[in-house]
């Protein structure tokens, strides 16, 4: 029997304190199997079953389908490379093994301050992952003023797509600043770097075949356009929460507008820092005659767009 307990502790992240995190801790009974590093697992299904020496899985079919397509094409001809030391049945494409084979001279690149780097191309590509997931990877970039409903929409959208069997991940502006971007302030240059990093992470999710929902104020048009340029045409879907400032300020769910008006927060978007509205958003969500649609209704608009553009199938 496994007994799981959750322990809460308060930690500080960068300049943020009073952030609670949970850490799972497992307590095992003292048995001879524990001394051997073994423990009895609960009788649950993990997507596979073991019978004698045979392992049966519910996902081996798609993996074999990808494996069958691992032949790379070099100079118009299909070639395979035998990695020395591998089983004779384990052929690896040339693409995967150049580093081990010692064949060819890789082309070095300099990107920013990074020098002598080489892009390593693998045989399982985005289209293979999309086929496995039965969806197309993309980035849904939700932008708007604080209090416009970005995070609420992102959660409703993630929930709606999950109900349809689609894999999503949300990059929320505040959440990202808890870890990856905790070293950044809200100065203009740090805000630009915050968006750049988030855009690069969103790109990786899209390349993995995931529908990534990025929910950030992202006030500057230049930085949003730079994130768009990271992806293939059509894979960056900008959603503008077109909610007037006075409505956002009346909502003030975090009390930030009140603090900004009192001078306790400097550089707050909409108060003493500008917000540059998008000019070519794929989707614009606004109030209908002063009445706000429900988050689920707004999410359905985005889902309909994804369905129409073919993102909900491979």
Q: What is the spatial distance between Cα 91 and Cα 102, in angstroms, rounded to a whole number?
A: 17
Q: What is the spatial distance between Cα 10 and Cα 78, in angstroms, rounded to a whole number?
A: 56
Q: What is the spatial distance between Cα 271 and Cα 10, in angstroms, rounded to a whole number?
A: 32
Q: What is the pTM of this model?
A: 0.69
Looking at residue 314, what is its pLDDT?
Answer: 87
Residue 66 pLDDT exceeds 50: no
109 is catalytic: no
Looking at residue 292, what is its pLDDT?
Answer: 73
Q: pLDDT, tens digit, for every residue of 138-183?
A: 999 999 999 999 999 999 999 999 999 999 999 999 999 999 999 9
- Both tokens of 120, joined, read 């390593």
As a whole number of Å, the end-to-end CA separation of the chain is 42
Looking at residue 312, what is its pLDDT?
Answer: 98
Q: How confident is the model at residue 6 (pLDDT cuts 50, 70, 90)?
A: very low
Rounded to whole angstroms, the maximal C-alpha distance in the chain is 72
Mean per-residue pLDDT over the chain, rounded: 79
Residue 235 pLDDT exceeds 60: yes
Residue 71 pLDDT exceeds 70: no
Out of 39, 72, 218, 281, pick the active-site residue.
Answer: 218
């Amino acid at each position: 029997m496994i007994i799981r307990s959750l322990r809460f502790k308060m930690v500080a992240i960068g300049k943020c304190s009073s952030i609670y995190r949970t850490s799972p801790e497992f307590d095992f009974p003292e048995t001879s199997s524990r001394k051997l590093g073994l423990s009895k697992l609960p009788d649950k299904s993990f997507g596979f079953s073991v019978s004698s020496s045979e392992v049966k899985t519910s996902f081996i079919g798609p993996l074999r389908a990808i494996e069958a397509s691992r032949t790379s094409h070099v100079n118009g001809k299909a070639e395979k490379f035998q990695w020395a030391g591998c089983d004779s049945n384990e052929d690896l494409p040339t693409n995967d093994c150049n580093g081990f084979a010692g064949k060819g001279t890789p082309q070095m690149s300099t990107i920013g301050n990074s020098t002598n780097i080489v892009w390593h191309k693998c045989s399982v590509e985005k289209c293979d992952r999309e086929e496995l997931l039965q969806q197309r990877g993309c980035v849904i970039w939700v932008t708007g003023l604080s209090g416009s409903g970005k995070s609420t929409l992102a959660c409703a959208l993630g929930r709606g797509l999950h109900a349809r069997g689609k894999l999503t991940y949300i990059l929320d502006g505040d959440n990202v600043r808890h870890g990856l971007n905790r070293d950044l302030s809200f100065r203009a240059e740090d805000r630009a770097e915050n968006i750049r990093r988030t855009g690069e992470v969103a790109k990786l999710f899209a390349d993995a075949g995931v529908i990534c929902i990025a929910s950030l104020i992202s006030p500057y048009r230049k930085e949003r356009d730079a994130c768009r340029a990271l992806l293939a045409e059509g894979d960056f879907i900008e959603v503008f929460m077109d909610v007037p400032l006075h409505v956002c300020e009346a909502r003030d769910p975090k009390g930030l507008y009140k603090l900004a008006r009192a001078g306790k927060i400097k550089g707050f978007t909409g108060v003493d820092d500008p917000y540059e509205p998008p000019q070519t958003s794929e989707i614009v969500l606004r109030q209908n005659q002063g009445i706000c649609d429900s988050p689920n209704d707004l999410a359905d608009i985005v889902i309909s767009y994804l369905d129409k553009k073919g993102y909900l199938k491979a």
